[in-house]
Structure 1
Amino acid sequence: MDAWLKAALDYVPRWIDFQVQHFDQPGCSIAIAHRGEVVLEEAFGTADLGTGEALTPRHRFRVASHSKTFTAAAILKLKDRGLLRLDDAAGTFVQGLHEDAAAATLSQLLSHSAGYVRDGADAGYFPGTRPFLTAAQLRAELALAPPLPAGQRFKYSNHGYGILGLVIEAVTGEHYRDWIMREIVGPAGLTETYADIGLMNAGTLAKGHSTRLPYGRRLVIPGDAPTADLASATGFVSTAADLARFFAQLSPSSPATLLSPAARRDMTRRHWRDSESTLERYYGLGTISGSVAGWDWFGHSGSFAGTLSRTAVFPAEDVTISVLTNAIDGPAQLWVDGIAQILKVFRTRGAPSAEVADWAGRWWTLWGAMDLVPAGDKVLASPPALNPPLAEVSEITVTGLDAGLITRAPGFNQPGEAATRVRDAEGEVSEVWMGGVRLIGEFAFAEEVATRFGG
């Protein structure tokens, strides 16, 4: 493993652990793959607030719309085999659709440009007030005219991906779940992934959780509803590690043979811009894409009852990041972006030199925590509460064993002032001074502040 990546992976869990506590989240599971191999997987917090069960990397999550990427890969695999074409009309395979819905092409369904209704007249299956739709119910809803003409704009549709599941069944003569488990999940080498909850024959499901408002506490959401014939849109169950493995294989430059390079390029290129979003993002064929910290990415996100998740591949860096949270307000997108920022800082600066490596640590003042993060030949001082992390830092140039100079910093900080470490009688570092600001360890800080303020 490259030295810069190893150094980054040492800091990522420390930052995520703080963020989980800072945002008062139940739990979070992360995985990072490099060159297709998982190089980090960790879990933080709780799998079920009702029981206090600790979350582990082996807990499965409802990963919701990540399912669309699996379904898109299935369609592209059938195309590679010559069993369908992307310009085939949906009505060629699925009967009973409105004529406009039937005329939409598979490419339009894959790219969410078919104009289909998003979730139908009653989307109560997501909050659990009704069962997920059967094929007959899906066809009945799509017997109505689509809200928009096909090819007009990007318009997300779970119903569209439900129809793609029926297309797979029509072409293969098998149930969607059976075929995709054998032809996509199995060949991808995924052992913790299931096309719907009913197929999960091993492992434990992480429970979902509500927001705190307006209840005053987080409610536990089982998240165990089967998704019927919307499994192709939202049914999948997986782990962060398996998602990282799968998405890494979709990179056009991956040596994996799950799909042809041409199919992977078509899946991951930008077909439609989400022009009315404040986020600069695009949709391909079952993938979302954009850029963060100057690095282009593709991947997908997912939101089920009580969970929020996101996976992103950074092809130029050959890195994949997957973050799964078990609360509906889990900041999975922010944390993927934050991890990417950490990786970029270390990719740019390099692993810490021997002269600065032992400055690493977390220190506290009344204003919160401050992380000292050695990178290259400098020590970066940055609050772990900030996101993006390591984006606005004070930069310390080490001049002696316990002495340094703040050589770069925002004007409201302490540029040009000293950075000093103080050791106790046992020779351990017990304090850090940034200019005139004293920082101490977490437990000493908690005790000191409780004594001062009567806590």
Structure 2
Amino acid sequence: MHMTDTPEWLAPSLDYVSRWLEYQMRVLEQPGCTIAVTYRGKLKLEHAIGFADQGLSIPLTPRHRFRVASHSKSFTAAGLMRLREQGRVTLEDRTGQYVSGLHPKIASATIAQLLSHTAGIFRDGMDANYWVDRAPFPDEAELDRDLALPPAIEAGLRLKYSNHGFALAGRVIEAVTGESWVDWIGREIVAKAGLTETTPDAPLPDGAPFARGHSSRTLLGRRLVVPGDQSTNAFAPATGFVATAGDLAKFFAQLSPEAETSILTAASRREMTRAQWRDPHATLETSYGLGMISGTLDGWEWFGHGGGFLGYITRTVVVPKQHLAISVLTNAVDGSAHPWLDGALRIMKAFATGGAPSAHLADWAGRWWSVWAAVDLVPIGQKVFVALPGLLDPLAKTAEIEVNGTDEGRIAEAGAFGSYGEPVRLIRNDAGKVSTVRLGAGTLVPEDVLAAELQARYDLQRPETATPINGSERG
């Protein structure tokens, strides 16, 4: 394969990722989700599911922008790395060289410590009500007041996330450039990266499609629409950005050390994305670099960032060795962007390992139903996997079908409680189309067939005089 060719497994893997996400959205009743995937910086998938505004039933499209919150930190870090390349700052410079009025211990923190969350600065100040929409985001005067206070811990002790630290990093950019952070970052990072659907903060340009946020259903039994269009004021360098999944995937792809074109040198990208400070409390191995989180998923090393803004959960990841970038954006406070992105990666890895599905397995692909659950037949390479789309990892502990005839196969891999070794058969209708799947002793049918069967069997009104199931009578 030529270096610039797209691997044959990628398109079928993305097709299944899209179908799996559609089912996840249906099961979890999320308002909206968009996903974008690039390969070698080129967009290979943009897919939107659900609503940009559930209250008004506005369909979501890939052009809708989301609040992407802490993705902003990667943009701010890239800005300072660009200034470093120009010789205007060093990572060892003290913040007090550029910003006055800081507490002496904060003034002595280095730019590298701000970007790696090791300056010891408190996370959100003394009053974080702006995160729950009970107050506006702090302005410059309020930020100055907070940064005159002592840090929570000494610098350099440990990884300690700080939105105030990145707000201060934005102030450093303003001091060095003599411009507002919004103007400089918009021109020197956003525009030069070729992003056309990204702004450093609200408000958006007139007419730009915008996905509204949503509350969870837990409190009221229904979701409320969260406007999500407030300015983040002095905290824009930490959390202001508004973007599409496509723009985020393209931007983060440029920050890969493997990228062929980028706004930064390869040396700067390696410094940003390498694991510098480990999080010992994370359930999965996770580290932080300079404005960038990194980790490993099933042997694939990744870097990227996530974001949480009232009404939105978002995440973007790059797998450098596979030349992939994936962005998943959701517009609800309980959005599943993190596990969905992990699930998408696992699906892609399964296809990368097994290869593109063989052409003779085309009739074995599809979604089938039993009263228990939906089941996906997913051809990968020469095998057919029995996937469960209701799982966050649909191919986990799945059965494998070995096809030994046009419509015949056997379960060649399965757990001890499955139907290992038993036959599988495709049953066709008079038109020659597959209408039923016999999987071991079970029968799988299309969704509409099962829905009609269950309604006919169970959707009946019981007479008031019917005997209760436990046989008792009420007086």
* TM range, smaller chain: over 0.9
2:288 and 2:162 map into 1 onto residues whose CA distance is 12
Residue 355 of structure 1 is matched in structure 2 by 360
Residue 124 of structure 2 is matched in structure 1 by 119
Note if 1:152 corresponds to 2:157. yes
- The share of aligned pairs that are identical, in percent, is 53
1:285 and 1:258 map into 2 onto residues whose CA distance is 16
2:448 and 2:107 map into 1 onto residues whose CA distance is 65
2:122 and 2:183 map into 1 onto residues whose CA distance is 27
Deviation, structure 1 residue 202: 4.0
Residue 254 of structure 2 is matched in structure 1 by 249
Residue 219 of structure 1 is matched in structure 2 by 224
Deviation, structure 1 residue 391: 2.1
Q: Which moved more, 1:367-376 or 1:198-207?
A: 198-207
Q: Which has the larger radius of gyration?
A: 2
Residue 258 of structure 1 is matched in structure 2 by 263
Deviation, structure 1 residue 256: 1.5
Residue 58 of structure 2 is matched in structure 1 by 53
The correspondence for 1:435, drawn from 437, 440, 452, is 440
Q: SS of the residue aligned with 2:38?
A: strand
Note if 1:237 corresponds to 2:242. yes
Note if 1:168 corresponds to 2:173. yes
Given that 1:135 and 1:166 are in contact with CA atoms closer than 8 Å, whether structure 2 keeps it comes out as: no
Instruction: Tell me which amino acid in the other structure corresponds to 2:186.
Output: M
2:431 and 2:256 map into 1 onto residues whose CA distance is 52
Instruction: Tell me which amino acid in the other structure corresponds to 1:273.
Output: R
Q: 1:90-133 CA deviation, whole Å, 9 max, x = no partner? A: 11111111101111110000000000010011111111111111
Q: 1:304-353 CA deviation, whole Å, 9 max, x = no partner? A: 11000000000000000000000111111101111111111110111111
Q: SS of the residue aligned with 2:131?
A: coil
Residue 69 of structure 1 is matched in structure 2 by 74
- TM-score, normalised to structure 2, is 0.95
The correspondence for 1:372, drawn from 369, 377, 386, is 377
- Equivalent positions of 1:83-102 (< 5 A) are 83-102=88-107
Q: Which moved more, 1:238-247 or 1:354-363?
A: 354-363
Q: SS of the residue aligned with 1:313?
A: strand
Residue 400 of structure 1 is matched in structure 2 by 405
Q: 1:218-252 CA deviation, whole Å, 9 max, x = no partner? A: 11101011011100000000000000000000001
The alignment of Structure 1 onto Structure 2 pairs a total of residues equal to 455
1:200 and 1:371 map into 2 onto residues whose CA distance is 42
Deviation, structure 1 residue 425: 2.2
Note if 1:451 corresponds to 2:452. no
2:91 and 2:141 map into 1 onto residues whose CA distance is 24
- TM-score, normalised to structure 1, is 0.99
Q: 1:15-36 CA deviation, whole Å, 9 max, x = no partner? A: 1101111111111000000000
Given that 1:352 and 1:376 are in contact with CA atoms closer than 8 Å, whether structure 2 keeps it comes out as: yes
Deviation, structure 1 residue 165: 0.6
Deviation, structure 1 residue 257: 3.2
Instruction: Tell me which amino acid in the other structure corresponds to 1:145.
Output: P
Given that 2:258 and 2:321 are in contact with CA atoms closer than 8 Å, whether structure 1 keeps it comes out as: no
Residue 421 of structure 1 is matched in structure 2 by 426
Given that 2:255 and 2:262 are in contact with CA atoms closer than 8 Å, whether structure 1 keeps it comes out as: no
2:163 and 2:439 map into 1 onto residues whose CA distance is 53
Given that 1:223 and 1:306 are in contact with CA atoms closer than 8 Å, whether structure 2 keeps it comes out as: yes
Please give the root-mean-square deviation of Cα atoms over the aligned residues, in Å.
0.9
Residue 392 of structure 2 is matched in structure 1 by 387
1:8 and 1:278 map into 2 onto residues whose CA distance is 27
The correspondence for 2:203, drawn from 198, 202, 219, is 198
Given that 1:293 and 1:340 are in contact with CA atoms closer than 8 Å, whether structure 2 keeps it comes out as: no
Given that 2:363 and 2:434 are in contact with CA atoms closer than 8 Å, whether structure 1 keeps it comes out as: no
Given that 2:22 and 2:49 are in contact with CA atoms closer than 8 Å, whether structure 1 keeps it comes out as: yes
Deviation, structure 1 residue 213: 1.1
2:457 and 2:323 map into 1 onto residues whose CA distance is 50
Residue 297 of structure 2 is matched in structure 1 by 292
- Structure 2's unaligned 5+ residue stretches are 1-5, 461-475
2:89 and 2:207 map into 1 onto residues whose CA distance is 34
The correspondence for 1:320, drawn from 320, 325, 336, is 325
Given that 1:67 and 1:235 are in contact with CA atoms closer than 8 Å, whether structure 2 keeps it comes out as: yes
Residue 184 of structure 1 is matched in structure 2 by 189
Residue 310 of structure 1 is matched in structure 2 by 315
- Equivalent positions of 1:340-351 (< 5 A) are 340-351=345-356
